[in-house]
Structure 1
């Protein structure tokens, strides 16, 4: 749990309870986490941002202490469109009609969809250490299949659910530690909370549905959008770790220029988990971007 000045509340959006922590005043920022984590990934960055802005941290549906609806056929409940609708609803319920969204990993994929589907509400978007889902799945290489093997494992029906239930402690540690830059660690109490939040049968079912959705309904939504000429219209900041898989295997700005009309960005000297590995430069770049775009 984050301490003061953050205050926790539960926000109901269409029957789904979303865990949120809020602090600060000024232009609102929505921060979204990835897999296999929670809003605590922002623990070092959020206080810096909250000194200048209203900061809203949430757990995505299926993650953390948010509700975990049972997956449906086709996993539409865990599409990025459904998860983005949750987050738009949270900001609306909190009284924010226009905001900046900042996402890492799965949260960045939700942020991408949120900025497409609710363009009038999103002033700017920052996407941390991803390339678009559509690009990733349409350019599967040997390096990608090994580096991101979990994309395919977690999407494999009920197989991962049965296997993960036996050793979630090992799985969460392995998924995080293999993507950290050498010499970087996560505080034991934070790692323990990540494991706690991923360990229930409902969380396992929800998070595997998230990955199944990526290869089906999310990809279909992205293909349809690109066929219709949909691009991000708002200012877009792309940040990535120079030691991460994204940094070593893609040209992020080049890729994102095909999906955004106004994109900029840079690499940071870290692995995948920018807010935890390089919190000061991450916060500084985010503040500069938000202040400029607002």
Structure 2
């Protein structure tokens, strides 16, 4: 296990919602929870977290199945993972909090906003579409960019074996492909990500598999009920909606009553490539 920590943060093993989560906590003030994406750990927030900690309590967990958190065999619905985040914050003494998520963490944050509107005061989602919308816009040859979504949606067995056979190459491929600025993920941090993913292939696949199954069902149920995000929501994305032929802002608007949508010139790993931009956006969100 390779360990790099967020400077000035304390680390806790928090038992909540049936799993033990590895959680970095720093600062003081109103709470902000930050959820990481793929193929990363809580460490992706290191720059944003230390800045926000000047006037907020900042909570950065490893999602279940990732990093140094527990890796149960199943139950990786975003509903369960959202309940993890709520339970962790409650164990740390916070009944309400602002929530920002990137990539997989943004899907968890989206579900938390729908399932726990009385808990989530403000919401930020970085570089995703809601799960249902993602599958609806992926079609034709343009869907090749999301080959990993289809690979990990397959029944248990083959995807895990294929990825485990060359895990560093598989996960490193995305770290290379999705970064506009490779220097934003230095060698020691990259080593942490690859080590964490190497130890978590089955759970990472299970997380993605849930997004091709139960997560879609949950989104469809909310859509049928007209359930929307009612807290202030900021979405920041690369302009891949235009590149793939859909209106990302319109997709998000259908889910939110108070949306601010913007694009960025940073790559997918925007919290590491453009931390000042993301921190500024979080602070602006918290004033709404």
Partner residue, 2:154: 156
What is the distance in 1 between the residues matched to 2:271 and 2:117? 25
1:182-221 paired onto structure 2 within 5 Å: 185-200=184-199, 203-221=200-218
What is the distance in 2 between the residues matched to 1:144 and 1:278? 27
- 1:235-265 CA distances to partner (integer Å, 9 max, x unpaired)? 10001124xx456334332211000111002
- Which one of 261, 267, 270 corresponds to residue 271 of structure 1? 267
1:42 maps to 2:34 = no
**Maintained 8 Å contact 2:7/2:50:** no
What is the distance in 1 between the residues matched to 2:23 and 2:270? 21
**Maintained 8 Å contact 2:176/2:182:** no
Flag structure 1 segments of 5+ consecutive residues without an equivalent: 72-76
Aligned CA distance change for structure 1 residues 13 and 246 (closer, same or farther; 3 Å):
farther
Q: Return the TM-score normalized by structure 2.
A: 0.94
Give the superposition deviation at 1:143: 4.8
Partner residue, 2:172: 173
1:63-212 paired onto structure 2 within 5 Å: 63-71=66-74, 77-157=75-155, 158-181=157-180, 185-200=184-199, 203-212=200-209
Give the superposition deviation at 1:102: 0.1
1:239 maps to 2:236 = yes
Flag structure 2 segments of 5+ consecutive residues without an equivalent: none
**Maintained 8 Å contact 1:131/1:246:** no
What is the distance in 2 between the residues matched to 1:131 and 1:224? 17
Between the two proteins, the alignment pairs up a number of residues equal to 283
Give the superposition deviation at 1:156: 1.5
**Maintained 8 Å contact 2:6/2:43:** no
What is the distance in 2 between the residues matched to 1:259 and 1:30? 21
Partner residue, 2:282: 286
What is the distance in 1 between the residues matched to 2:222 and 2:53? 34
What is the distance in 1 between the residues matched to 2:142 and 2:49? 31
Q: Secondary structure at the match of 1:45?
A: helix
**Maintained 8 Å contact 2:97/2:120:** yes
Aligned CA distance change for structure 1 residues 127 and 144 (closer, same or farther; 3 Å):
farther
